[in-house]
């Protein structure tokens, strides 16, 4: 577990976190609007999370997807939990564009273009603000429901 890179504090910018998850901005791939949702608990598969944490995870995935669509206007969203090299539950949520370096293949395929795409400071700031607000609103609604 001490060898697990996801058990350490990430080098990538954290946009939001709580006791169970953190959302980090992946900045090293020349892909615009690429986030990772990382479980803080060290388990390798989703079924090993508790029911309530898994529910929270799926709700966060949905919130992340909506915010990527709102801010980055991608042609498609890709969502994946692989973890073959780092077996610690985490999701890649990726804005895909018809002109990105891999489209229509996955970002794990061989790139077919070689362009640079960077998030602007305004996009990052909006993303952080809107993610935080939407998660806060969801938490308030859930507290009201229970």
Q: Is 139 in the site for its own copies (CB under 8 A)?
A: no
Residues 5, 17, 50, 109: which binds its own copies (CB under 8 A)?
A: 109
Closest C-alpha to 16, from 60, 59, 58, 77: 60
Residue bearing tokens 């980055």: 72
Q: How far apart, in Å, are the Cα atoms of 49 and each of 5, 8, 83, 119?
A: 19, 19, 15, 32
Query: Minimum distance from CB of 141 to its own copies (Å)?
Result: 12
Residues in the chain: 146
Q: Is 141 in the site for its own copies (CB under 8 A)?
A: no
Residue bearing tokens 């607000």: 133
Query: Minimum distance from CB of 1 to its own copies (Å)?
Result: 17
Q: Is 96 in the site for its own copies (CB under 8 A)?
A: yes
Residues 7, 42, 54, 88: which binds its own copies (CB under 8 A)?
A: 54
State the chain's maximal CA–CA distance in angstroms. Answer: 50
Residue number, 13 or 104, with CB nearest to its own copies: 104
Helix (H, G, I), strand (E, B) or coil at 58: helix
How many residues bind its own copies, per CB under 8 A?
A: 30
Residue number, 13 or 55, with CB nearest to its own copies: 55
């Amino acid at each position: 577990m001490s060898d697990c890179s996801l058990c350490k504090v990430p080098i990538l910018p954290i946009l939001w976190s709580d006791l169970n998850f953190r959302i980090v901005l992946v900045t090293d791939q020349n892909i615009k609007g690429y986030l990772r949702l990382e479980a803080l608990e060290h388990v390798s598969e989703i079924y090993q999370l508790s029911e309530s944490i898994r529910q929270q995870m799926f709700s966060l995935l949905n919130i992340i997807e909506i915010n990527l669509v709102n801010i980055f206007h991608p042609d498609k969203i890709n969502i994946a939990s692989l973890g073959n090299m780092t077996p610690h539950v985490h999701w890649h949520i990726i804005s895909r564009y018809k002109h990105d370096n891999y489209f229509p293949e996955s970002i794990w395929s061989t790139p077919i273009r070689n362009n640079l795409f960077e998030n602007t400071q305004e996009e990052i700031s909006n993303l952080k603000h809107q993610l935080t607000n939407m998660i806060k609103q969801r938490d308030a609604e859930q507290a009201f429901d229970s």
